[in-house]
Amino acid sequence: MTFDRRFLLLMLAPVLLAACGDDDTDDVAEAEPGPTVTMEQSRYAPDTVEIAPGTEVTFENLDPFAHTVTSAEGSTIEFDSGELGQDETYVQTFDEAGTYGYFCEIHPTMRAEIVVG
């Protein structure tokens, strides 16, 4: 083997090895990254978010005390972040069209909604 062939083989080896790998993610649809809803001053901001189906929403607590992101009664899907401390996040994917209300179990007057269209 000449120097040129060895160099070419070394350059192509990572590509060839990657092509031979088993990738199970082909069958799983990934959620589209979406907006962030913050919890600040005991409010969700924004209080209404409109997204496409299959979008994930990130909820981030910026308050110095705990909050939750909990689906409202009668919601098509149930979700609950549990208690989120300051600077903690929770991600929820919304796959089906509809309106999803949610609230904070610790501060029940905190209410908002996700509209999936």
The residue-averaged pLDDT of 85-106 equals 97
pLDDT of residue 3: 52
pLDDT of residue 15: 52
Q: How confident is the model at residue 2 (pLDDT cuts 50, 70, 90)?
A: low
> Cis (ω within 30 of 0) for the bond into 46?
yes
pLDDT of residue 115 exceeding 90, the answer is yes
Domain spans of the chain, in order of start: 29-116
Is 117 in contact with 107 (CB distance < 8 Å)? Answer: no
Q: Give Cα separations from 102 to 10, 24, 96, 106 (angstroms).
A: 54, 33, 16, 12
For the entire predicted model, the pTM comes to: 0.74
| Local structure of 38: helix, strand or coil | strand
pLDDT of residue 17: 47
pLDDT of residue 8: 47
Lowest-pLDDT range, 31-35, 67-71, 105-109? 31-35
Give residue-wise pLDDT tens across range 14-37: 554 455 554 444 445 677 789 999
Give residue-wise pLDDT tens across range 78-88: 999 999 999 99
Is 44 in contact with 37 (CB distance < 8 Å)? Answer: yes
Domain range 29-116, CATH architecture: Sandwich (2.60)
